[in-house]
Every structure is written in C-alpha cells, then in structure tokens.
C-alpha cells in the first residue's frame, strides 16, 4: 500500500487540499496521512473545522509576528522527524507558502517524491508576490508530480524545461472545495442564519449588491505602500458612501494594525476578524464586486460572477485578466479609482464580465490528481 503524506500550514492550503484529502482517503489503495505545520492557527482551524479534516500530526508552529526565518527554520527541522516517523512514498504540498516550500525541501532531502498541487503559477517577478514567486519555483525544481491548474501554468513549466511527463493539467482544486461549500449555501435555512449572524458580527444589515468585499495581506506591501493603499480605500469609501466595504482583516499584525488605525473610523467600512470559509463565500455570493490581493479569491470569484480589482502590480492568475473579469491596479490610486468606477457603472448597466467556462477548473481536479498518483506510484 502506498503511503501519502499531505502537508499544509495556512488557510488557503487547507482549503485547496481539503478536497484532495477527501479523494485520497476514499482511495483504499493509499494510506493517507495528514500533517499541519500550524503556520497559521485560528485561520487554519476555521478551515479544518468546516471541512472536518483530522490531522495526524500538528507541529503547532505559529508565533505572533513570525518572520520568514522562524517558520522556515522551525518547520524544516520538525519535518525531518515527521518524515522519519511516517516514511511516506510521496509528500503532497500545495501552492507557494513557506510550509509548501519547506515540506517539499524536507522530502527532497530524504529523497522522497514530491507532488505539487497548483504547480506552474508564475508572475515572473521574484518580489511580487514575495516570497511566494520564489517558493513555487523552488518547489518545481524538486517535484516529481506537477499538477498544473491550467494550460497556462503547464506551458510555464514546459518553457522552463521541466519534463513533460511530470506535468498534468488537473484544474484548480479550489473549485472543488468551493462547489462543495456552495451547495451548502444553497440551503435556504443556512443562508438565512448566515445573514443574521453576519449582520450581528458586522453590526449592520448588509444588503445584496450594496457592498464591496475586500481582503489584503501580501507581504511586499507592508509599510508605506500598505498605508497609502489604505488611505486610498478610505477615500474611495468616502466618495462611494452609498456602498459598504466589508473587510475581514488578516490577523497578521503588519496588516491588522494599519487597517484598524486608518480604516477603523469610517462608518461604511465594516472591519471584522477573518471569516470562516462558509461565511466568506456567502459574502462573496452577495457582494457587488471584490477588491483583493489574494490568490485564491481571484480564482473563486468566477463561480459567483463577481468582478475583482486585483490590488497587485502583477498576477500569476492571468487567466482571470484575459477572461475580462479581473483588473490589475497595484496600489495605484488613479487605477483603483478608474476600475472601481468602471466596474460599478458597467454592473449598473447589466454588463456581463464573465465567459461561459471557468478558466480555473470544473470541480473534478482532486479526482484527477488521485488517478494520476495511482498510475504514477505503481
């Protein structure tokens, strides 16, 4: 029986690996072990609770205001013992976090195969996003299985000279996760309860199509760029005072502190703690449009037909830009105001931003990944 170790540490990894873990566990020719580095704590628990993921090991590494050195060094040392304990045939990592990079590196040091979910994303700018662009490139170098979410990500890997037989287009597993939760949101009683709970949490009744949903957390913005961007958002909220801005704020103190200081007293900016995934998707389904620098949110907004302002200078999710529903602004005030007004006006006139097919997948990516592993590990 082949032994598979799945490792995650942050919110987005857990969301995107939840359906993979479920599909692996249903495959009885595999023994599937799940390990969390605990790079995140509360934000991760929200996901493991919702998807009912049981971890066999939790390294519980998160420290407040941790540095890249903390999480890299601590998780590398701990992964040595985890790999020694379980001796897996393959280690599955997802995306581009420090957890993903270090777990792949640890597997490589032990000459254990690496399978990379969401392989081949590239911005081709080593500092945007930072350190993720470097992390995912490092992982590609030592991966035996590259599960590319799209044709574009496959082509990136081929261009870089990776062996074609290690690369398969599977779709992005975020679509699998999202469709599972969307089914729950379609239950009227649950949707009604979420609406009441959210109203209480935000201390305001939020009306469908009358709020913008926001997230922001990227490291490369920390400091002055983040502060200036927050002032732009404050200005935007003052101009569009008929709209609310719902902003579940990342727990990273480099984000939470300036957000509370700069946006804390604007009456139509509704700041909250990070939302559990179910509530966040409920908000996504009801919002007018989205402003974010998140990777996952760029992939998810298609399913709810919500255009997105991507507050980054470059993206590795060009599929959303090319499809016409995502707009890159970086932190540039003029671009943000321009696209905000443009999207708002077009929505009022009934403009359709969305093509028929989701460029990120059809919700069957996890099954494809399991099938490829079954064939590849024989």
β-pair partners for 235: none
What is the Cα–Cα distance from 172 to 20, expressed in whole angstroms? 11
Which residue out of 13, 57, 118, 319 is catalytically annotated? 118
Which residue out of 13, 116, 122, 132 is catalytically annotated? 132
- Which of the listed partners (ligand UDP, ligand UD1, none) does 280 bind, with a CB threshold of 5 to 8 Å by partner kind? ligand UDP
Cβ atoms of residues 241 and 268 within 8 Å: yes
Residue 66 sits in the site that holds ligand UD1 (CB under 6 A): yes
* Binder among 131, 149, 248, 359 for ligand UD1 (CB under 6 A): 131
Distances in Å between the alpha carbon of 160 and those of 26, 101, 121, 141, 243?
35, 18, 12, 10, 45
What's the min distance (Å) between Cβ of 351 and ligand UD1? 31
What is the Cα–Cα distance from 347 to 353, expressed in whole angstroms? 9
Which residue out of 40, 217, 288, 312 is catalytically annotated? 217
Cβ atoms of residues 200 and 146 within 8 Å: no
The candidate with the shortest Cα–Cα distance to 160, out of 179, 181, 143, is: 143
Any catalytic annotation for residue 250?
A: yes
List, as one string, the DSSP characters of 74-99.
HHHHHHHHHHHHH--SEEEEETTSHH
Residue 40 sits in the site that holds ligand UD1 (CB under 6 A): yes
- Which of the listed partners (ligand UDP, ligand UD1, none) does 277 bind, with a CB threshold of 5 to 8 Å by partner kind? ligand UDP
Any catalytic annotation for residue 118?
A: yes
- Residue 257: both structure tokens together: 């502190």
Residue 320 sits in the site that holds ligand UD1 (CB under 6 A): no
Residue 248 sits in the site that holds ligand UDP (CB under 6 A): yes
Which residue out of 57, 96, 133, 152 is catalytically annotated? 96
Q: Which of residues 179-238 bind ligand UD1 (CB under 6 A)?
A: 217, 219
Number of residues in contact with ligand UDP under rule CB under 6 A: 15
What is the dihedral angle through the alpha carbons of 199, 251, 321, 165, rounded to the nearest 10 degrees?
-120
Closer residue to ligand UDP (CB): 15 or 169: 15
Q: Which of residues 291-310 bind ligand UD1 (CB under 6 A)?
A: none
What is the Cα–Cα distance from 118 to 57, expressed in whole angstroms? 23
Contacts with ligand UD1 by CB under 6 A lie at 10-12, 39-44, 62-66, 68, 71, 96-98, 131-132, 217, 219, 251-253
Supply the residues annotated as catalytic.
96, 118, 132, 217, 219, 250
């Amino acid at each position: 029986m082949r032994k598979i170790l799945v490792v995650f540490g942050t919110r987005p990894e857990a969301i995107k690996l939840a359906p993979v873990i479920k599909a692996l566990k249903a495959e009885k020719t595999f023994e599937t072990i799940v390990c969390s580095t605990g790079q995140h704590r509360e934000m991760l628990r929200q996901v493991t609770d919702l998807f009912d993921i049981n971890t066999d090991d939790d390294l519980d590494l998160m420290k407040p205001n941790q540095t890249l050195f903390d999480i890299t060094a601590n998780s590398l040392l701990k992964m040595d013992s985890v790999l020694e304990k379980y001796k897996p045939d393959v280690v599955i990592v997802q995306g581009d976090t420090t957890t993903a990079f270090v777990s792949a590196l640890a597997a490589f040091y032990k000459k254990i195969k690496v399978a990379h979910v969401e392989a081949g994303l590239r911005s081709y700018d080593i500092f945007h996003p930072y350190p993720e662009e470097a992390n995912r490139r490092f992982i590609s170098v030592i991966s035996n299985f590259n599960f590319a979410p799209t044709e574009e990500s496959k082509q990136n890997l081929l261009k870089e000279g990776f062996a074609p037989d290690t690369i398969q287009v599977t779709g992005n597993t975020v679509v699998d996760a999202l469709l599972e939760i969307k089914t729950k949101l379609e239950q009227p009683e649950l949707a009604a309860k979420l609406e009441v709970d959210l109203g209480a949490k935000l201390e305001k009744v939020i009306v469908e199509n009358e709020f913008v949903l926001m997230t922001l957390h990227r490291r490369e913005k920390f400091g002055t760029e983040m502060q200036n961007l927050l002032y732009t958002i404050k200005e935007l909220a003052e101009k569009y005072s008929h709209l609310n801005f719902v902003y579940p704020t990342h727990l990273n103190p480099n984000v939470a502190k300036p957000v509370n200081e700069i946006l804390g007293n604007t009456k139509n900016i509704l700041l909250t703690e990070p939302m559990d995934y179910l509530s966040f998707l409920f908000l996504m389904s009801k919002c007018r449009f989205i402003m974010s620098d998140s990777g996952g949110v760029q992939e998810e907004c298609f399913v709810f037909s919500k255009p997105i302002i991507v507050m980054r200078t470059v993206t590795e999710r060009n599929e959303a830009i090319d499809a016409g529903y995502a707009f890159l602004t970086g932190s540039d005030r003029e671009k943000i105001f321009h696209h905000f007004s443009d999207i708002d006006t077009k929505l009022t006139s009934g403009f359709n931003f969305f093509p028929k097919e989701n460029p990120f997948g059809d919700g069957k990516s996890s099954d494809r990944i399991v099938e490829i592993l079954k064939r590849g590990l024989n």
